[in-house]
């Protein structure tokens, strides 16, 4: 049943199976199957990371975002939009997230040894993972184990995660910042951030959500984008746009003062050895 659903979804939505809305029963069956399969996937090492380049003003690759992929033995690549929410519901995000951190840091080291010097790699950390009482200690240990400097790691948190427990967030962010780790707010603009609380957080970067970038030719979206860029400037933060697909978007963003980009216009997420470095 679940496989049929997956097959239909794949056919109709190309490879975007995440947009398929199955019936309730189908959905429950499928979640249970996926949950079991995720446990196996961890043991059998079916997860891998792809990396999407981030470019600067000169459109040179200076960093990359690590994005998890699941190479399922029969279903092919499963989108994180499909399994990360379920992993979050089932606590499986804890071992998965720990693996992502370790693997991304291992890759930084591997690139270093190959003479490929990326400024940093950005890693997505989900709320559940961040809320663990020993999260900061875990990160510290990974840096030690992989022998990389803290400044090579950027942690991406969503606005929702940040505001869900603001005191815990501030405490952890300060500890991470003291170590030298930078923090970026992912999908920025769709949440509830106000200038007043952003001021109290030790952040490095705002990442403009791709939904605004996509509709940048729409006046409302354009105004939001400009506002985010102005907010970032007034707070002394770096700003990056994600989901950049066209030269028009690049030009608009550049004109407004956003000089860092990530999106299909520059590169899709690719396996580590396929990144085209332009350093």
Which residues contribute to the site for ligand C2E (CB under 6 A)? Answer: 52, 67-68, 79-81, 84, 97, 100, 124, 126, 156, 186-187, 210, 242-245, 263-264, 269
Q: How far is CA 12 from CA 7, 8, 17, 81, 113, in A?
A: 9, 6, 9, 17, 43
| Nearest Cα residue to 28 out of 86, 69, 107 | 86
Q: How far is CA 6 from CA 17, 72, 95, in A?
A: 7, 12, 26
Q: Which of 37, 82, 186, 226 binds Mg ion (CB under 5 A)?
A: 186
Q: Which stretch binds Mg ion (CB under 5 A): 42-50, 124-132, 168-176, 244-252?
A: 124-132
Which residue carries 């400009």 as its tokens? Answer: 226
CB of 187 or CB of 226, closer to Mg ion: 187
- Cβ 243 to ligand C2E, closest distance in Å? 4
Q: Return d(Cα 239, Cα 186) in angstroms, integer.
A: 11
Nearer to ligand C2E, 67 or 105 (CB): 67
Cα(275)–Cα(64) distance, rounded to whole angstroms? 9
Give per-residue burial for 129-145: e unless 16+ CB within 10 Å, then b. bbeeeebbebbbebbee
Q: Which does 126 bind (CB under 5 to 8 A by kind): ligand C2E, Mg ion, none?
A: ligand C2E
Q: Residues in contact with Mg ion, total (CB under 5 A)?
A: 5
159 makes contact with Mg ion (CB under 5 A): no
Which residue, 23 or 275, is less far from ligand C2E as judged by CB?
275
Least Å distance, CB 86 to Mg ion, is 16
Chain residues 39-68 in contact with Mg ion, contact rule CB under 5 A: none
176 binds, among Mg ion, ligand C2E, none (CB under 5 to 8 A by kind): none
Where in the chain does DSSP place strands (E)?
47-55, 61-72, 76-78, 120-124, 153-158, 182-188, 205-208, 238-242, 260-262, 270-271
Which of Mg ion, ligand C2E, none is residue 181 near (CB under 5 to 8 Å by kind)? none
């Amino acid at each position: 049943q679940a496989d049929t659903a997956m097959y239909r979804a794949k056919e109709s939505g190309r490879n975007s199976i995440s947009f398929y809305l199955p019936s309730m029963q189908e959905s429950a069956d499928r979640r249970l199957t996926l949950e079991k399969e995720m446990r196996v996937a961890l043991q059998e090492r079916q997860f891998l990371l792809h990396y999407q380049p981030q470019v600067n003003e000169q459109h040179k690759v200076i960093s990359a975002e690590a994005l998890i992929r699941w190479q399922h033995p029969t279903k092919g690549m499963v989108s994180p939009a499909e399994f990360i929410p379920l992993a979050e519901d089932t606590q499986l995000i804890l071992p998965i997230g720990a693996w992502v951190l370790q693997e991304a840091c291992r890759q930084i080291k591997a690139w270093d040894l190959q003479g490929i010097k990326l400024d940093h790699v950005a890693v997505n950390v989900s709320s559940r993972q961040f809320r663990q009482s020993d999260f900061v200690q875990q990160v510290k240990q990974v840096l030690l184990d992989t022998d990389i400097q803290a400044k090579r790691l950027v942690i991406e948190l969503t606005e929702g995660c940040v505001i869900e427990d603001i005191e815990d967030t501030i405490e952890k962010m300060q500890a991470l910042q003291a170590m030298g780790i930078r923090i970026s707010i992912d999908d920025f603009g769709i949440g509830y951030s106000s200038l007043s609380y952003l001021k109290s957080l030790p952040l490095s970067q705002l990442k403009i959500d791709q939904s605004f970038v996509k509709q940048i030719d729409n006046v409302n979206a354009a105004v939001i984008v400009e506002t985010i860029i102005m907010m970032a400037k007034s707070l002394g933060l770096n700003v990056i746009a994600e989901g950049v697909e066209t030269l028009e978007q690049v030009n608009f963003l550049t004109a407004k003062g956003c000089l860092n980009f990530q999106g299909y216009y520059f590169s899709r997420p690719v396996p580590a050895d396929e990144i085209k470095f332009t350093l």
